[in-house]
Copies of this chain bind each other. A is one copy, B any other.
Amino acid sequence: MKAYELAEIVAGRVVGDHETQIVRIAELDQAREGEVAYVDNEKFFDKAVESKASCLIVPPGVSEKFQDRTLIEVHNPKLAFALIGAALHPPVRREPQIHSTAVLAANADVALTAFIGPHVQIGENAHVGAYTRIEAGVVVGANVKIGDDCVLHPNVVLYDGVSLGNRVILHAAVCIGADGFGYVRHDHGYQKFPQIGTVVIEDDVELGAHTCVDRAALGRTHIGRGTKLDNMVHVGHNCDIGERVVIAAQTGISGSVVIEDDAVIGGQVGFGDHTRVQKGAVIGSKAGVLPGKIVRPGIWWGIPVQPLDQYKRQNAYLSRLPERIKRLEQQLADLKNR
């Protein structure tokens, strides 16, 4: 593609040669001819000047620093780079196909434009939408609904009855709809609590490899539109996760937790059951949230979580404590000696 075509995608302004040919995105210091890189931080302007990229995406008003270069000026260079990357490197498109080794229930409803890879199983009465790509080894249970333009990477498992919206991406071995962890203790052990609810995943959700979302005991577990989960996240039964939520790897969410829209949650965080994270709250990695806690907007940290500045104040207090106590002891000794 040419520089002016890329600029059109991101509503940017080309400075220099509009016809510059671009075939790939690259990092500033790795870029070579035919590649485009971005810089959005003054710290890296010198590095950008030395970059061998054929085109640089830059913030407005800095073009005089980059003489004789092809530039795309745009307000958010990183976002523009991501969008241009998506245009230059579109995801693999497979030709529509139902592989001969796939096993489809007679009444499964698979769109003509879908791709069904080798060794896939599609259960009774399941629906697979248009242009959806289901890679090798995926198991789709009975009565599952999968929307359009989804990608299910190899060995994903969807238990019976779960539902995915459009443009959902599930990475390898994601598991949706396994039984929630619920038992009732009796004299001789544990009786399984019924896990007969379901899971609903809305449009534009992406789940990292090996993430597991359990079905609801009754009712449904829900993940809202545009939410992104990293690898190996555990979502317990009956959770309700809002829209545009981001959760990093290995975080564990117990049953019946509510996470409202636009929350940002680090890795290895643990949530006790029935907690609620309010809209836009940010929780640092490795934090622990006690059962039933309400996490208000703001930045939270620690085990158990507390507001970040409180956490910092407390740590600063503790680190100054030894000196303070020594001083007290000294003064007291002085007084006694008088």
Contact = CB atoms under 8 A, between A and B. Distances in A.
Interface of A: 25-27, 30, 76, 78-79, 81-83, 85-86, 89, 92, 99, 101, 103, 117-119, 121, 135-137, 139, 153-155, 157, 159-160, 171-173, 175, 178-179, 181, 183-184, 186, 188-194, 196, 204, 206, 208-210, 212, 214, 218-219, 225-226, 228, 230-232, 234, 236, 243-244, 246, 248-250, 252, 254, 267-268, 270, 272, 285-286, 288, 303, 317, 321-322, 324-325, 328-329, 331-332, 335-336
6 closest A-B pairs by beta carbon, nearest first, are A85-B194, A139-B154, A189-B226, A178-B209, A157-B172, A181-B230
Contact of A219 (B30, B210, B231, B336): B30
A332 B328 contact: yes
Nearest to A24: B196
A31 to B, nearest CB: 9
Given A82-B194, A181-B208, A181-B230, 10 more contacts: A25-B194, A85-B196, A86-B191, A155-B155, A171-B179, A173-B210, A208-B212, A212-B232, A267-B270, A272-B285
Nearest to A338: B336
A332 B154 CA distance: 70
Contacts of A178: 153, 171-172, 208-209, 231
B209 A175 contact: yes
B248 A250 contact: no
Contacts of A189: 204, 225-226, 243-244
Nearest to A157: B172
Contact of A212 (B92, B210, B303, B324): B210
Given A189-B204, A268-B268, A232 B230 contact: no
A98 B175 CA distance: 24
> Counting chain B CB atoms within 10 Å of each CB, which of A76, A103, A209, A286 scores highest?
A209
Contacts of A154: 121, 139, 157
A235 to B, nearest CB: 9
Contacts of A248: 181, 254
A89 B286 contact: no
